[in-house]
């Protein structure tokens, strides 16, 4: 009977040691989360020729950093929501950019970035939405996107539409 109890005790100790070892080997640093507010006040965003387009707005954002087993950052997730206005620096005419919602995933090991969301939802009273940019854009390194889904215009076309809406 003593041998049986001793064998069970040794088995329990061995299982406990294995679980402790396994927990240590597979332990991973918890994601690091930062939350912050976004604020733009009288920020010039584009030259429309005879006036400057000015942005004002506010929002919230969360940045989550994920780590591998060695504690190195491997992935970032940015989640943001913004409500703002764009205005004509000369006339004061303004249009709403709300809501703008962004989810941006960065794979630090692969060097890719994936943007998903409704990045711009610009409306003009009486006309409705005049500029809408949403969907998914994937970048591999710096430069042009490697994948685009949803309505997206080149920056110069986007600026022209917004300048026109503020005239």
Distance CA 66, CA 98 (A): 30
Same domain? For 18 and 44 the reply is: no
Segments forming the whole domain that contains residue 22? 1-27
Q: Work out how many domains the chain is built from and give that number.
A: 2
Is residue 147 pLDDT above 70, yes or no? yes
Confidence of residue 27 (pLDDT cuts 50, 70, 90): low
pTM of the predicted model, to two decimals? 0.74
Same domain? For 129 and 54 the reply is: yes
Same domain? For 17 and 99 the reply is: no
Same domain? For 83 and 17 the reply is: no
Same domain? For 66 and 20 the reply is: no
Residue 15 CA, chain-centre distance (Å), reads 43
């Amino acid at each position: 009977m003593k041998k049986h109890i001793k064998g069970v005790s040794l088995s329990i100790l061995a299982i406990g040691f294995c679980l402790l070892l396994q927990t240590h080997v597979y332990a991973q640093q918890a994601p690091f989360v930062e939350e912050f507010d976004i604020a733009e006040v009288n920020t010039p965003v584009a030259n429309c020729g005879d006036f400057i387009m000015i942005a004002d707005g506010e929002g919230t954002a969360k940045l989550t950093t994920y780590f591998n087993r060695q504690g190195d950052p491997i992935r970032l997730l940015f989640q943001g929501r913004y409500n703002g206005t764009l205005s004509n620096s000369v006339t004061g005419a303004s249009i709403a950019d709300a809501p703008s919602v962004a989810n941006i995933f960065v794979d630090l090991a692969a060097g890719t970035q994936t943007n998903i969301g409704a990045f711009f939802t610009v409306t003009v009273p009486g006309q409705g939405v005049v500029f809408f940019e949403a969907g998914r854009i994937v970048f591999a390194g710096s430069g042009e996107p490697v994948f685009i889904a949803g309505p997206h215009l080149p920056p110069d076309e986007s600026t022209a539409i917004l300048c026109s809406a503020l005239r």
